[in-house]
Amino acid sequence: MRLFNEAEAIVDREDGDNDQQSNADTIAVPAHRRKRGGRKPLPPELPRIEVVHELPESERVCPHDGATLRVIDEVKTEQLDIIPAQVRVIRHLRKKYSYALIKTAKANNIEPYQYLRRVFAELPNTKTVEDVEALLPYSVELKSTDDVKSAVD
């Protein structure tokens, strides 16, 4: 009796398709054939539940100057979740955050155009992480617009 066997039924159905795709999934190497690395994607017909992992609102702030972080990317991973009588895919979306450079410059009373001119002029001369951090808008050396203008001119 085959109760609660959706996962096996899906795998059995795909095994027939996989025989046809086996040539596409292998690499010809002299003396033997090797399978390609990596995990196969989960079947698209499986139901999906999205779980979004975001920072709490209180943590979406730059620790240096308080500028609001914004989403720049997300990492997607999928996890097969088998529950008796039910098969589904849980998709995890992890948000990546960054702060806007221009907004941070304005928040620190730095004129953005002059600031970017200075950064682009000095960036080729940076050699360490500390050198790059010294060019960020919240840096102590860049607190006044006059400093930025004099450094560029």
Residue 128 phi/psi, 5-degree rounding, is -125, 170
**Model confidence over 10-41: pLDDT tens digits?**
666 665 555 555 556 777 667 767 676 778 88
The enclosing H or E element of 91 equals strand 86-99
pLDDT, averaged across the chain: 78
Query: Phi and psi dihedrals of 26, rounded to 5?
Result: -120, 155
DSSP state for residue 67 in the 8-state scheme: P
What pLDDT, on a 0 to 100 scale, did the predictor assign at position 53?
92
Q: Which two tokens stand for residue 29?
A: 């190497």
Per domain, the residue ranges of the chain are 6-99, 102-152
Give pLDDT, residue 91.
Answer: 92
Helix (H) or strand (E) holding 106: helix 101-107
Contact 152, 121 (CB under 8 A): yes
The winner for highest mean pLDDT among 4-13, 15-24, 102-111 is 102-111
Determine the Cα–Cα distance for residues 117 and 110; give it in Å rounded to an integer.
12
Find the largest Cα–Cα distance for the chain.
83
Instruction: Give 128's DSSP letter.
Output: S
99 beta partners:
69
